[in-house]
Amino acid sequence: MANSHQFLSRRLHSLLGLFPIGIYLIFHLLANHQATKGPEAFNQAVGLIESLPFLIVIEFVIIYIPLLFHAILGIYIAFQAKHNVGSFSYGRNQMFMWQRITGIITLIFIAWHVWETRIQFALGNKELNYQMMADILSNPAMVVFYTIGILSAVFHFSNGIWSFLVHWGITVGPRSQRLATYLTMGIFVVVSFIGLRAMAAFIQ
Protein backbone atom coordinates (compact mmCIF):
# COMPACT_ATOMS: atom_id res chain seq x y z
CA MET A 1 0.00 0.00 0.00
CA ALA A 2 2.99 2.24 0.50
CA ASN A 3 3.27 3.50 -3.04
CA SER A 4 -0.47 3.98 -3.47
CA HIS A 5 -0.87 6.47 -0.61
CA GLN A 6 -1.24 9.24 -3.20
CA PHE A 7 -4.09 7.36 -4.80
CA LEU A 8 -5.77 6.86 -1.42
CA SER A 9 -5.31 10.45 -0.28
CA ARG A 10 -6.75 11.80 -3.55
CA ARG A 11 -9.75 9.50 -3.28
CA LEU A 12 -10.19 10.56 0.35
CA HIS A 13 -9.95 14.21 -0.72
CA SER A 14 -12.76 13.66 -3.20
CA LEU A 15 -14.91 11.76 -0.70
CA LEU A 16 -14.46 14.20 2.20
CA GLY A 17 -15.41 17.14 -0.02
CA LEU A 18 -18.89 15.70 -0.29
CA PHE A 19 -19.23 13.67 2.92
CA PRO A 20 -19.16 15.33 5.40
CA ILE A 21 -18.01 18.80 4.22
CA GLY A 22 -20.59 19.27 1.44
CA ILE A 23 -23.41 17.96 3.61
CA TYR A 24 -22.30 20.29 6.40
CA LEU A 25 -22.33 23.25 3.99
CA ILE A 26 -25.95 22.54 3.02
CA PHE A 27 -26.90 22.08 6.67
CA HIS A 28 -25.13 25.32 7.64
CA LEU A 29 -26.82 27.37 4.93
CA LEU A 30 -30.23 25.90 5.79
CA ALA A 31 -29.72 26.74 9.46
CA ASN A 32 -28.76 30.29 8.48
CA HIS A 33 -31.86 30.46 6.34
CA GLN A 34 -33.91 30.36 9.55
CA ALA A 35 -32.89 34.01 9.91
CA THR A 36 -35.35 34.88 7.15
CA LYS A 37 -38.08 34.04 9.69
CA GLY A 38 -36.64 36.56 12.14
CA PRO A 39 -33.85 36.75 14.73
CA GLU A 40 -35.72 34.52 17.22
CA ALA A 41 -36.02 31.65 14.73
CA PHE A 42 -32.27 31.86 14.00
CA ASN A 43 -31.32 32.04 17.67
CA GLN A 44 -33.53 29.03 18.29
CA ALA A 45 -31.74 27.06 15.56
CA VAL A 46 -28.36 28.03 17.05
CA GLY A 47 -29.59 27.01 20.49
CA LEU A 48 -30.69 23.64 19.13
CA ILE A 49 -27.22 22.99 17.68
CA GLU A 50 -25.50 24.14 20.88
CA SER A 51 -27.62 21.69 22.88
CA LEU A 52 -26.18 18.70 20.97
CA PRO A 53 -24.20 16.36 23.23
CA PHE A 54 -20.43 16.10 22.62
CA LEU A 55 -20.72 19.06 20.26
CA ILE A 56 -16.97 19.78 20.29
CA VAL A 57 -16.23 16.16 19.25
CA ILE A 58 -18.83 16.33 16.48
CA GLU A 59 -17.33 19.61 15.29
CA PHE A 60 -13.83 18.15 15.10
CA VAL A 61 -14.84 14.86 13.46
CA ILE A 62 -17.42 16.22 11.02
CA ILE A 63 -15.94 19.63 10.25
CA TYR A 64 -12.44 20.63 11.35
CA ILE A 65 -10.41 17.48 10.61
CA PRO A 66 -11.98 16.67 7.20
CA LEU A 67 -11.86 20.35 6.23
CA LEU A 68 -8.18 20.70 7.15
CA PHE A 69 -7.27 17.55 5.22
CA HIS A 70 -9.29 18.70 2.20
CA ALA A 71 -7.80 22.21 2.38
CA ILE A 72 -4.15 21.23 2.78
CA LEU A 73 -4.18 18.64 -0.01
CA GLY A 74 -6.35 21.04 -2.03
CA ILE A 75 -3.75 23.83 -1.89
CA TYR A 76 -1.18 21.36 -3.18
CA ILE A 77 -3.47 20.27 -6.03
CA ALA A 78 -4.49 23.83 -6.92
CA PHE A 79 -0.93 25.06 -7.34
CA GLN A 80 0.14 22.01 -9.31
CA ALA A 81 -1.93 22.88 -12.36
CA LYS A 82 -0.60 24.91 -15.26
CA HIS A 83 -3.74 26.61 -16.52
CA ASN A 84 -4.17 26.89 -20.26
CA VAL A 85 -7.66 28.26 -20.87
CA GLY A 86 -6.05 30.72 -23.29
CA SER A 87 -5.36 27.97 -25.83
CA PHE A 88 -8.05 25.53 -24.65
CA SER A 89 -11.15 27.56 -23.84
CA TYR A 90 -13.44 24.52 -23.53
CA GLY A 91 -16.14 24.59 -20.88
CA ARG A 92 -14.72 21.85 -18.71
CA ASN A 93 -11.24 23.39 -18.78
CA GLN A 94 -12.77 26.68 -17.54
CA MET A 95 -14.49 24.71 -14.76
CA PHE A 96 -11.16 23.01 -13.94
CA MET A 97 -9.60 26.45 -13.44
CA TRP A 98 -12.56 27.88 -11.49
CA GLN A 99 -12.66 24.83 -9.22
CA ARG A 100 -9.10 25.69 -8.16
CA ILE A 101 -9.68 29.45 -7.90
CA THR A 102 -12.89 29.06 -5.86
CA GLY A 103 -11.15 26.50 -3.67
CA ILE A 104 -8.51 29.02 -2.66
CA ILE A 105 -11.06 31.85 -2.22
CA THR A 106 -13.25 29.55 -0.11
CA LEU A 107 -10.28 28.62 2.07
CA ILE A 108 -9.45 32.28 2.72
CA PHE A 109 -13.12 33.05 3.37
CA ILE A 110 -13.61 30.11 5.74
CA ALA A 111 -10.42 30.92 7.68
CA TRP A 112 -11.66 34.50 8.21
CA HIS A 113 -15.24 33.42 8.90
CA VAL A 114 -14.20 30.85 11.54
CA TRP A 115 -11.88 33.38 13.19
CA GLU A 116 -14.59 36.00 13.30
CA THR A 117 -17.37 33.75 14.60
CA ARG A 118 -16.45 30.41 16.15
CA ILE A 119 -13.06 31.42 17.56
CA GLN A 120 -14.30 34.77 18.91
CA PHE A 121 -17.13 32.84 20.57
CA ALA A 122 -14.69 30.28 22.00
CA LEU A 123 -12.50 33.09 23.37
CA GLY A 124 -15.55 34.50 25.06
CA ASN A 125 -15.32 37.80 23.19
CA LYS A 126 -18.70 37.51 21.53
CA GLU A 127 -22.02 35.77 21.84
CA LEU A 128 -23.13 33.41 19.11
CA ASN A 129 -26.47 34.76 17.93
CA TYR A 130 -28.28 36.78 15.28
CA GLN A 131 -26.73 40.03 16.53
CA MET A 132 -23.18 38.73 15.96
CA MET A 133 -23.79 38.26 12.23
CA ALA A 134 -25.85 41.46 11.97
CA ASP A 135 -22.86 43.38 13.42
CA ILE A 136 -20.43 41.79 10.97
CA LEU A 137 -22.68 42.45 7.98
CA SER A 138 -23.33 46.07 9.00
CA ASN A 139 -20.06 46.74 7.15
CA PRO A 140 -20.75 46.89 3.37
CA ALA A 141 -17.24 45.56 2.60
CA MET A 142 -18.09 42.47 4.64
CA VAL A 143 -21.29 41.99 2.64
CA VAL A 144 -19.21 41.90 -0.55
CA PHE A 145 -16.68 39.53 1.06
CA TYR A 146 -19.41 37.20 2.32
CA THR A 147 -21.19 37.22 -1.07
CA ILE A 148 -17.98 36.22 -2.85
CA GLY A 149 -17.22 33.67 -0.13
CA ILE A 150 -20.65 32.03 -0.26
CA LEU A 151 -20.70 31.92 -4.07
CA SER A 152 -17.18 30.43 -4.16
CA ALA A 153 -17.99 27.80 -1.56
CA VAL A 154 -21.22 26.80 -3.29
CA PHE A 155 -19.59 26.67 -6.73
CA HIS A 156 -16.70 24.61 -5.39
CA PHE A 157 -19.21 22.25 -3.77
CA SER A 158 -21.47 21.95 -6.85
CA ASN A 159 -18.69 21.48 -9.35
CA GLY A 160 -17.02 19.18 -6.82
CA ILE A 161 -20.05 16.87 -7.04
CA TRP A 162 -19.41 16.66 -10.79
CA SER A 163 -15.75 15.72 -10.21
CA PHE A 164 -16.73 13.29 -7.48
CA LEU A 165 -19.01 11.45 -9.92
CA VAL A 166 -16.12 11.10 -12.39
CA HIS A 167 -13.48 10.25 -9.78
CA TRP A 168 -15.57 7.41 -8.44
CA GLY A 169 -16.50 6.12 -11.89
CA ILE A 170 -20.23 6.88 -11.55
CA THR A 171 -20.58 9.12 -14.61
CA VAL A 172 -18.33 7.45 -17.19
CA GLY A 173 -19.60 8.36 -20.67
CA PRO A 174 -19.90 11.87 -22.13
CA ARG A 175 -23.72 11.84 -22.03
CA SER A 176 -23.94 11.15 -18.30
CA GLN A 177 -21.17 13.68 -17.65
CA ARG A 178 -23.04 16.35 -19.59
CA LEU A 179 -26.22 15.64 -17.65
CA ALA A 180 -24.20 15.86 -14.43
CA THR A 181 -22.94 19.31 -15.54
CA TYR A 182 -26.52 20.56 -15.89
CA LEU A 183 -27.60 19.02 -12.58
CA THR A 184 -24.63 20.32 -10.59
CA MET A 185 -25.03 23.82 -12.04
CA GLY A 186 -28.70 23.62 -11.04
CA ILE A 187 -27.51 22.78 -7.52
CA PHE A 188 -25.18 25.81 -7.67
CA VAL A 189 -28.09 28.15 -8.49
CA VAL A 190 -30.46 26.73 -5.87
CA VAL A 191 -27.92 26.52 -3.03
CA SER A 192 -26.50 29.97 -3.85
CA PHE A 193 -30.01 31.37 -3.61
CA ILE A 194 -30.49 29.81 -0.17
CA GLY A 195 -27.08 31.05 1.01
CA LEU A 196 -27.46 34.61 -0.24
CA ARG A 197 -31.06 34.92 0.96
CA ALA A 198 -29.90 33.79 4.40
CA MET A 199 -27.12 36.40 4.36
CA ALA A 200 -29.56 39.13 3.30
CA ALA A 201 -31.67 38.35 6.36
CA PHE A 202 -28.82 39.58 8.58
CA ILE A 203 -28.52 42.93 6.85
CA GLN A 204 -30.58 45.45 8.74
Partner 1 sequence: MAEKVIHLIITRQDSPDSAPYKEEFKIPYRPNMNVISALMEIQRNPVNATGQHTSPITWESNCLEEVCGACSMVINGKPRQACTALIDKLEQPIRLEPMRTFPVQRDLSIDRSRMFDALKRVKAWIPIDGTHDLGPGPRMPEVERQWAYELSKCMTCGVCLEACPNVNDKTAFIGPFAISQVRLFNQHPTGQMNKHERLEALMEEGGIQECGNSQNCVQACPKGIPLTTSIAHMNKETTKHAIKKFFFS
Residue ranges binding partner 1 (CB under 8 A): 3-4, 6-8, 10-11, 77, 79-84, 86-88, 90, 92-93, 95-97, 99, 162-163, 166-174, 177
Q: Which residues contact 134 (CB under 8 A, 6 or more apart)?
A: 39, 202, 203, 204
To partner 1, the closest distance from the beta carbon of 189 in angstroms equals: 21
Measure the CA–CA gap between 53 and 55, rounded to whole angstroms.
5
**Helix boundaries (H) for the chain:** 5-16, 23-33, 39-50, 55-58, 65-78, 91-114, 120-122, 130-136, 140-167, 174-200
**Closer of 68 and 85 to partner 1 (Cβ):** 85
Q: What is the dihedral of CA 74, 77, 78, 81, to 10 degrees?
A: -170
With respect to partner 1, which residue has the nearer C-beta, 32 or 171? 171
Nearer to partner 1 among residue 42 and residue 188 (C-beta): 188
Between 37 and 92, CB nearer to partner 1: 92
Distance of closest approach, residue 26 Cβ to partner 1, in angstroms? 23
Q: Name the minimum Å distance from CB 7 to partner 1.
A: 4
Q: How far is the CB of 104 from partner 1 (least distance, A)?
A: 15
